[in-house]
A and B are shown apart, each in its own frame.
Chain A
């Protein structure tokens, strides 16, 4: 996009500072001195973690930052006009007419009480591009067709909750572009979507850009940014640390934070190495990867968890039968990390529930440490329960909000009492890298990463043979995710506990697992070595997954 005769930029911003007053009325800046331009046909990405100021910067382009925010800028041109002087009705013309907004999670971003058709047509109706129910409906179906929604007539009459995640996200894009905006602002448009659906949504956005729309992409995912953005900015704590052409920013990052962010993305090439860097590292050895501690090889003669031919059917409300699991078998051996991979609806959560004994399979059985597990009375399996522990995706909902951290970890320390239990809790806190003063905290006072550390400490407290980790880091920021994954790897090496790692993240599973099982529609389509299987997929579905995976194909990622 760097030809000499550039078209006039859609957005030209310099020195943008956004601040909110705190409780005492003192202004607190959430974005400082941000400058960028977006030209037609160009995709600019802002990369950052939560609290980096990336979303608020994007919202400022629509003046939707929030009531009491103060927005200052040296230059704030939208379509050539000075936006600092815009009044309410001028801003309304910008919104939907000049710039369309696509947010994360179309289920909550589309009005659940209105049909898709009405939602899609709304911007066009507000900006007077079409009048009358028939014209609006035609426009809605045409726009849905443009973003690749099949059967748009039917979809336009449905509600958001009737559509699959991918269709819903495309409908949200349709609603954003129905007013013919020249700029699309996409705020984490593919977060929480399966890889294949993510690829579809990105291709829809890429197509808009190729047709000449400007695209501002907000994302925490470097791989997504690498695949679509022409230029990228890395933000942290409201400040742009790195910016330039995407290839340059990601291939030769200038700022240490960018390097850490890139290094923190798990992949096949990071297997056996830490994702985090020592904070003190600087200069020459910054790109050197630190290997993980050595661990004992999995003992294939000692199976910990064996699943034989699991089957589970659910009755749907429509009167049909949904097959969640259709003859799934697997074994987790002592000291082994087994990855269970699949997209939503593949049956991986059902597997976890059956393994935990929270759900009875229709057929098949599970052995834990050689003993019968499924179909047993809870009394009979109680003594084995502590041998299998669980780390959920969202530990907050698994904690009693009134309990302190000591109480939470203490749940699994029934054998200890009084002082020895307290000592154990302190030991476990130290083990997961938390200071002793966290012992008296309650879940609400902990950050996401700290909660996950507490969940790990609670699991380890029981001295388990296996821990089932259900998407343990998918709700965390990349840098925090890296810390938690490294911690899990350290503790696994230290204790030799087996892990059943359930995830939709193919990069993560290649980084962390020994073996992997790929589930699709309740069946095992392929299993084998966690890295070889993706290098040489023998099943077409695995190949599809690999193809859909956005990747960072840069030198920095490979281990040194």
Chain B
């Protein structure tokens, strides 16, 4: 018999370690990128700013007079402590530039993620293995959602619900009303893809022998799908999860722009335009970190959804 402890050491610990390794790799890649760019590191970090003593201050802060190796160690050490340096364009610590902008984006991505899962589960549960027309209609809608660009969906929704019906504000981030359209915009492509994967997996599960046995116990169709089939279908969907988190983050940047919402998207865009290298670097590393966190969390979730992994 396997204990929870054995499961942690065998399944979860290696995944956490891998996650840490990937995060370290991302930070290292950022460091190498900074040094590999043409031009002096001071100039890259300064962006288009220039004032007396700026280059010296940068050299001082990043330890540019030291060996590359000790610069690297110092860089890792500062990142590990959450110190992403100073934005010379904004004249404030990078953490202060990004920090307040994280929450609106997380808020948006999280609502969109939850919405996408709910929509996908509903669509898949209602249509899997059902009549040809229902499935064809659902597939068509999902295909449209997956294929349409985020900004286009956003503009259509704005046109319909904000300009014409005036149900929701056009832009801003005040209250839940302002969140509805951006969240729907961001959720639709993800929901479409997830629904397709879920339905296919549910249809595969529905022809398994255990479904016959379960039906032979007198179970209702809804309970059968929710209690038995959905869980089997969740396994391939969870595998996709890490990738979808990336899609949500990327989509969030565009969605924020379309709806004029504050968030990481706006910060990143501004930083790129003003060549604010420290902020761009920090965003890159943050994105990598979120990715790592999400995939690690999903890997661990996998073990809990599928008891077969626990007991083998």
Contact = CB atoms under 8 A, between A and B. Distances in A.
Given A64-B212, A109-B209, A96 B217 contact: yes
A256 to B, nearest CB: 34
Nearest to A92: B218
Interface string A86-124: 000000111111011101010011111111000000110
B110 to A, nearest CB: 27
Interface in A434-484: none
A113 B307 contact: yes
A318 B306 CA distance: 19
A127 interface: yes
Contacts of A62: 215-216
A126 interface: yes
A538 to B, nearest CB: 39
B257 interface: no
A179 B216 CA distance: 11
Interface string B298-312: 000000011110011
Given A122-B217, A126-B218, A317 B312 contact: yes
Contacts of A100: 216-217
Interface residues of B, number: 23
B55 interface: no
Nearest to A89: B220
Contacts of B232: 113
A154 B194 CA distance: 37
A158 B312 CA distance: 12
B217 A111 contact: no
Nearest to A185: B216
Contacts of B312: 161, 317
A38 interface: no
A113 B215 contact: no
Interface in B195-232: 208-210, 212-220, 223, 228, 231-232
Given A112-B308, A159-B311, A97 B218 contact: yes
A118 to B, nearest CB: 9
A176 interface: yes
A197 to B, nearest CB: 19
A507 to B, nearest CB: 28
Interface in A108-157: 108-115, 122-123, 126-127
B220 A92 contact: yes
Contacts of B306: 113
A126 B210 contact: no
A175 interface: yes
Nearest to A63: B215
Contact of B213 (A110, A113, A318): A110
Given A108-B208, A109-B209, A317-B312, A96 B307 contact: no
Contacts of A103: 209, 212-213
Contacts of A207: none
A111 B229 CA distance: 9
Contacts of B214: 111, 122
Nearest to A172: B213
A123 B209 contact: no
Contact of A123 (B218, B223, B231): B218
A308 B31 CA distance: 63
Given A159-B308, A161-B308, A162-B311, A111 B210 contact: yes
**Most chain A CB within a 10 A radius of its CB, from B213, B220, B228:** B213
A64 B206 CA distance: 13
Nearest to B208: A108
A109 B212 contact: yes
A462 to B, nearest CB: 39
Interface string A17-61: 000000000000000000000000000000000000000000000
Most chain B CB within 10 A, of A96, A99, A176, is at A96
A111 B216 contact: no
A109 B218 contact: no
Contacts of A317: 312
A161 B223 CA distance: 24
Contacts of A179: 217-218
Q: Which of A99, A105, A122, A161 has the most CB of B within 10 A?
A: A122
Nearest to A126: B218
Given A112-B308, A113-B306, A161-B311, A95 B218 contact: yes
B215 A109 contact: no
A110 B216 contact: no
5 contacts: A95-B218, A113-B305, A113-B306, A126-B218, A172-B213
Interface of A: 62, 64, 92-97, 99-101, 103, 105, 108-115, 122-123, 126-127, 158-159, 161-162, 172, 175-176, 179, 185, 317-318
Interface of B: 2, 208-210, 212-220, 223, 228, 231-232, 305-308, 311-312
Given A100-B217, A114-B228, 18 more contacts: A64-B215, A92-B218, A93-B218, A95-B216, A96-B218, A103-B209, A108-B210, A109-B210, A109-B212, A111-B214, A111-B228, A112-B307, A113-B231, A113-B232, A126-B223, A161-B308, A175-B213, A176-B213
